[in-house]
């Protein structure tokens, strides 16, 4: 800390600060820092690190040309957040220019600046700093009781005797379709890790504190307490669709999960990705290569004719019988104080969301 106080300072974006913390605690294993050029180019082109291990998205630190000119390779720099609070140190092994259009086309499948993830890359500096990092002063967690590192979740799974653990990634409240596929996965696994992302998201996504209260309510009333665990994933959302699905799976392997749910349009945004692109991308990898088993589910819905939750694999009835709402439509209803139909969302959960959003609207 004393040494860091006298170093040149580099301010991290919220995404970079999240990546620093997750690297330090092992959530991004085998990474030990921000990517150097050979690894970066290999990830962009092949979805692998230079050593051959699968890695789907670049974990990088961007600075301006002016900042880069003042930093020498081989020196240490202090990493600070947006309020200038010291977080850690980077030993700069390499600094290199990169092509933003090549990166966004490879990672996001588009160069459209209207895409949230693309815009972030296009707005950042044009030089990357690569090298190992040390986290010195960890940010105060927003949800301390649920902020568990990979070592802690692994230990908790072992204490509970869970050998098969399925992870579920979400940045949205859990609705009936989510509940259905989670419980299907629980039929073949010992435990469920509900692992919501609580880092930076789009401004129109439901705030993390509201979502967390909704998660607690649904777990308390509708899930077996001895077979479920709620912990937070401190990552920032990239909205990279298929590649981010692979990245999320690898991260959950580090947390100790053996299985990972991949649903419809995982990590998608808008209409940039095909409905099941995030599932098909896993076909590129050999058996056991990821170290975690993807569980791929069809789009699910409540069928009035069946009288229960179903998917196109199990339901013979037409769409006129299906209760399925878009995320946009549900957000509009919630912000308007309208409770979605019980076939779509548990009433207790919907009420928590409506009440929480009212508080945020007043603030």
By annotation, the residues acting in catalysis are 171-172
Quick one: which H or E segment has residue 88? Answer: strand 86-91
Q: How far apart are CA 325 and CA 234, in angstroms?
A: 28
Q: Phi first, then psi: what are they for 179, rounded to 5°?
A: -60, -40
Question: Is-contact 91 72, C-beta < 8 A?
Answer: no
Distances in whole angstroms, Cα of residue 191 to Cα of each of 166, 170, 183, 311: 6, 17, 10, 23
Q: How far apart are CA 161 and CA 158, in angstroms?
A: 5
Q: How far apart are CA 179 and CA 293, in angstroms?
A: 19
Q: Tell me the torsion sign for CA atoms 125, 131, 137, 143.
A: positive
Q: Tell me the torsion sign for CA atoms 240, 234, 154, 164.
A: negative
Other Cβ atoms within 10 Å of 342 Cβ, number: 12
Strands 76-80 and 86-91: antiparallel
Q: How far apart are CA 15 and CA 1, in angstroms?
A: 23
Q: Phi first, then psi: what are they for 26, rounded to 5°?
A: 95, 5
Collapsing DSSP states into helix, strand and coil, what is residue 51?
coil
Tokens 């409540």 sit at which residue?
302
**Cβ neighbours of residue 321 closer than 8 Å, sequence gap 6 or more:** 303, 304, 305, 306
What's the token pair of residue 247?
A: 């990245």
Strands 127-135 and 165-170: unpaired
Q: How far apart are CA 353 and CA 15, in angstroms?
A: 26
Other Cβ atoms within 10 Å of 112 Cβ, number: 13
């Amino acid at each position: 800390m004393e040494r860091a106080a006298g170093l040149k300072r580099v301010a991290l974006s919220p995404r970079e600060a999240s990546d620093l913390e997750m690297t330090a605690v092992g959530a991004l294993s085998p990474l030990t820092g921000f990517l150097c050029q050979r690894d970066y180019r290999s990830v962009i082109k092949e979805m692998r690190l230079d050593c051959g291990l699968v890695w789907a998205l670049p974990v990088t630190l961007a600075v301006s040309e002016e900042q880069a000119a003042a930093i020498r390779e081989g020196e240490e720099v202090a990493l600070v957040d947006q309020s200038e609070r010291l977080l850690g140190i980077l030993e700069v092994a390499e600094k290199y220019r990169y092509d933003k259009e090549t990166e966004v086309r490879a990672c996001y499948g588009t160069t459209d600046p209207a895409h949230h993830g693309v815009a972030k890359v296009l707005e950042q500096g044009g030089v990357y700093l690569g090298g190992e990092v040390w986290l010195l002063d960890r940010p105060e967690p927003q949800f301390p009781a649920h902020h568990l590192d990979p070592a802690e979740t692994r230990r908790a799974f072992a204490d509970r005797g869970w050998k098969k653990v399925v992870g579920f990634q979400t940045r949205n409240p859990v609705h009936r379709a989510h509940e259905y596929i989670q419980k299907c996965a629980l039929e073949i696994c010992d435990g469920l890790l509900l692992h919501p992302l609580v880092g930076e998201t789009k401004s129109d996504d439901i705030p993390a504190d509201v979502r967390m209260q909704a998660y607690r309510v649904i777990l308390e009333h509708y899930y077996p307490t001895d077979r479920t665990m709620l912990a937070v994933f401190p990552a920032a959302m990239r909205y990279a669709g298929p590649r981010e699905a692979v990245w999320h799976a690898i991260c959950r392997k580090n947390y100790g999960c053996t299985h990972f749910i991949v649903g419809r349009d995982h990590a998608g945004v808008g209409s940039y990705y095909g409905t099941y692109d995030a599932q098909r991308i896993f076909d590129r990898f050999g058996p056991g290569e990821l170290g975690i088993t993807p569980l791929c589910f069809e789009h699910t819905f409540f069928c009035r004719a069946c009288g229960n939750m179903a998917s196109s694999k199990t339901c013979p009835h037409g769409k006129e019988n299906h209760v399925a709402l878009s995320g946009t439509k549900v957000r509009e209803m919630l912000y308007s104080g309208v409770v979605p139909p019980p076939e779509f969302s548990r009433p207790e959960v919907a009420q928590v969301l409506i009440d929480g959003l009212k508080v945020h609207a007043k603030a």
